[in-house]
Every structure is written in structure tokens, then in C-alpha cells.
Structure 1
Amino acid sequence: MRTTWTVVGDGEFFCPGCGGDRNYSRRTGRRRLTVLGVPLVARGLVGPSVQCASCAREFGTETLDHPTTVRFSAMLRDAVHTVALAVLAAGGTSCRTVTGTAAATVRSAGFEDCTEDQLTLLMQALTSDRGCHPADAAEPAAAGARGEGEPDFPYSASLAIELHEALGPLAPHLAVEGRESLLLQGARIALADGPYSPAEREVLTMVGAALKLCPQDTDRLLAAAARTPS
């Protein structure tokens, strides 16, 4: 039995064998019964499979679902940026301590030129697109002013979608400790000016859900962060 392979595509992937980003060939094969090197009877198709250009090992096509190192770093950086903006959307940008903490968090994630003013301007643009002033978004609804199950601030539904879009694809590739660390970074921004507001806690709960953390673990982590001196 021999297999004749045909290359149908190529690209870059994270090779489990090499442990790094490598080029690959995506191949399909046709199995044939051969006698003395002469193909006689076709025995069906093989693959598709992925072959690493460096180590020549073959893997299933599901390997391509794992992001490359470069892509993973970008996803993580964007996730931190999204979480920081979400917390600012809930807590507002009037407190310099909060915006300073958010900017430092985003810089440590890879956006080295991020400043407080940039985050503030971005928040103003985002809230303007949603038809809401930042100060309005930061104010929780007055007691009894909203019905049961309604959000604490105006655009929590759209924010939940954005968080799931940014964090959902990343979560399967992060260990539990990594997902918890991402949640805690958001918690430290929220706590920079004091205890969580209802809107901040709502957003951080959304972050935990998007990161596939169970509600009990999210509550535990947020409570532990609140008890930790800044």
C-alpha cells in the first residue's frame, strides 16, 4: 500500500512537535495497492493532514485551530485592552487613578504607547457612538428606577457581545490561571478608586463568563481582589 500526497495549501501554524511557529503544508492523499512499484488498485482517500516544514511530522487539521505564538500574543493584548475599556465604560473616566491604572495595565499587555488621554478619548468616542455620555454610563440606576433583570448601565448588552467576541476565542487556549489573571486585571482597575460599583461588578461578571469561569470562581476572585490592599 502506498499513498500519493497532493499539497492543497500552506501557511504558518503552531507546531506541537517543534513547540513554535512553523510553516506547514496541508495535504490530501490517495491510497493505492502497488506491486513492484506499479499502482494497480485505488484504495480510497487519506487525510487531509498537516505536515510541518521543519520536523516533517504530520498532524490532524484541528492543529490549525491553535493560534500561532504571534497571533496568541495579539489576542491576549487585545483582550486586556477590551477588559480595561469595559471597566472604564462602567466606572467612568473622571478619576485619574482609575484611568492611570487602566493605562498601565494596557501598556503591560503590549500597547506600550497607551496613555490615559488616549483611553479617555477612546471612551468618549465609543460612548458617543452608543448615544450615551460617559458620565451617564458610569452612574448606576437609582434604587427602584429599573425593573428586575434590567442592566445597571445603558449599554451592558452590547458590551457583553464585545467581551465575548474578544475573550471567547482566547479562553480555550488559556490555562485557568491565565483566565483568572485576566479577570483580576480588570478588578484592579475597578478597585483603583474604591469598592466595586454595581455597574463595575456587572461588567466583571461578564468578563468571567466570557472567559468560561464559573460564577462561583468569579465571585471568589472578585472578593479576594477587594480584600487585597492596593
Structure 2
Amino acid sequence: MLPERGPNDRKARISARPVSRGRALCRRVIGMHTAWDAVGDGEFFCPACGGDRNYQRLTGRRRFVLLGLPIVPRGAAGPVIQCAACQELSDPDVLDHPTTTRLSAMLRDAVHTVVLAVLSTGGATARPALDTAIGTLRAAGYDDCSEEQLVALVAALAADTGRATEPDCAPGLAIELHEALGPLAPHLAPAGREALLLQGARIALADGPYTPAERDVLATAGCALTICSEDVTRLLATARTPS
């Protein structure tokens, strides 16, 4: 049996109706309206969609609205980034994240730079190091990499960066590593950054123990990848352990 409703319950229901309707009416009568204008477009990684999408950069003008008519300017709005697919609005700093296509290209370039940097310390003359380097580059997407091409690239890098065989990493080579790895590091998980350093370490170990020059190049690469010196030491030891 349903409980009996008293007069107070009925009064509560009746009094609640005008309040909710009044609020809805108030929202229709007065409020704030933003008029958006597109000022640019492009492709970005949409965090809402989880993939590469087209976007529009929007700027807006806010106005106080009365009876559906904008009457009082309330200042500028935005800029914001609007995804063309899901229509989600994001802050402009979302464009700092590279697209998946761009991220893949950055990763390939990083592997290429690390490989050449390690070989430029003298490994280009050793067959085991060359074979390991070629396998690493092909796995990264350089399918047509050959020994002749790799040796020529190492020679060109040595001439361009002023490679030194002493333990200190040549300044030009350090710049190359930081330019290739620095922008990539914030977008890689720790495991991804460590895997990149380990690839270089295994090339260095392919023809024997680390030379001082190889250690210095790998330490520079680790620094560019924001890996602390203690972890670099741990990873270089890990690479030496058979899997």
C-alpha cells in the first residue's frame, strides 16, 4: 500500500514548479553569449579523440545577452583549439604535443642520430658494430639502409661536427644529440627513453667493451633524454648483460 500523502507534500510539489520554471526562463532571458571566429587551422593530436585530427583556432567576443539580444560587450574569449571531429575545446598548449605522425618521424630521427653518434667514435670500422647499427636502423624504419650509406653518413657527421677520438664528446656532436633528442624526450615514457639509449649501448658493445669516447657519447645522449647519470650507468651495465 502506498503511503498517504499529506497536504504539505502537495504544497511542496506545487511550490517547486514555479522555481524550476523560473530559473529556466531566466536563463533564456538573460545570460552570456560568445561569438567565435576562426583565425587558423591545422592538424593536431586531439586528447579527447586520442588521435590526429584537424583543428580550428578560435578567438571570441563575449557579450551580455538580454531577451536574446547581445547588448553589453564583456571582453575577449580564447584563443581556444576546437577539434573538427569531436568539437571539444582545448587550450592552445595542446598544440605542443606532436601528432602521431610527427612523433614517429622524431623517433626515427632520434634513433638515426644516436646510431651515427656511437659509430662516429670509431665503430664504423668494425663489422659487428656496423651490422648491429644497420639492424637497428632498419627496425626503426630505414628499410633501405646499407653499409656503404652508413659509412658515408658517419664520415660526413665526423667532418661536420669535428669528431674527436678523445674521451670528451665533440661539441658539434653534443649539439646534434641535444637537437634530435631534447624535443622528443618530454613525449616519451621513461621506458621509451631508456630503450633508445640501450640501442646505442648495444651498438657500442657489439665490437667489445665500451671505449671512453663511446661512454661519453652515451652519457651525452642520456642527458639529452633527461635520464639521470645514475640511471645511465645502470643502463650501460644492463646492456652488457646477455638477454
Give the TM-score of the pair, scaled to structure 1. Answer: 0.89
Q: 1:118 aligns with which of 149, 168, 185?
A: 149
In the TM superposition, residue 130 of structure 1 has moved relative to its aligned partner by 4.7
In the TM superposition, residue 190 of structure 1 has moved relative to its aligned partner by 0.2
Q: 2:192 aligns with which of 141, 155, 178?
A: 178
The C-alpha deviation readout for 1:54-104, integer Å capped at 9, x for no partner, is: 000010001000000100000000000000000001133111110111111
The C-alpha deviation readout for 1:159-200, integer Å capped at 9, x for no partner, is: 111101000000000000000000000000000001100000
Structure 2 residue 81 is matched with structure 1 residue 67: no
Structure 2 residue 150 is matched with structure 1 residue 128: no
Taking the aligned partners of 2:51 and 2:157, their CA distance within structure 1 comes to: 37
Larger Rg: 2
In the TM superposition, residue 131 of structure 1 has moved relative to its aligned partner by 5.8
Code of the aligned partner of 2:88? R
In the TM superposition, residue 128 of structure 1 has moved relative to its aligned partner by 3.0
Helix, strand or coil for the counterpart of 2:124?
Answer: coil
Stretches (4+) displaced over 6 A: none
The C-alpha deviation readout for 1:127-160, integer Å capped at 9, x for no partner, is: 234566xxxx4x44xxxxxxxxxxx25x621111
Taking the aligned partners of 2:41 and 2:162, their CA distance within structure 1 comes to: 45
Counterpart position of 2:49: 18
* 1:1-230 map, 5 Å: 1-130=32-161, 137=164, 139-140=165-166, 152=167, 156-226=170-240, 228-229=241-242
The answer to whether the Cα contact below 8 Å between 1:91 and 1:197 also exists between their aligned partners in 2 is no
Code of the aligned partner of 1:229? P
Helix, strand or coil for the counterpart of 1:62?
Answer: helix
Taking the aligned partners of 1:225 and 1:128, their CA distance within structure 2 comes to: 29
**Percent identity of paired positions between Structure 1 and Structure 2:** 63
Code of the aligned partner of 1:200? E
The answer to whether the Cα contact below 8 Å between 1:32 and 1:42 also exists between their aligned partners in 2 is yes
Code of the aligned partner of 1:107? R
| Residue-pair matches, total | 212
Taking the aligned partners of 1:165 and 1:156, their CA distance within structure 2 comes to: 14
Helix, strand or coil for the counterpart of 2:210?
Answer: coil
Give the TM-score of the pair, scaled to structure 2. Answer: 0.84
Q: What is the root-mean-square deviation in Å for CA atoms of aligned residues?
A: 1.4
The answer to whether the Cα contact below 8 Å between 2:182 and 2:225 also exists between their aligned partners in 1 is yes
Code of the aligned partner of 1:12? E
Taking the aligned partners of 1:166 and 1:22, their CA distance within structure 2 comes to: 25
**Larger relative CO (CA 8 A, sep 6+): 1 or 2?**
1
Helix, strand or coil for the counterpart of 1:10?
Answer: strand
The answer to whether the Cα contact below 8 Å between 2:129 and 2:204 also exists between their aligned partners in 1 is yes
What residue ranges of structure 2 are gaps of 5+ in the alignment?
1-31
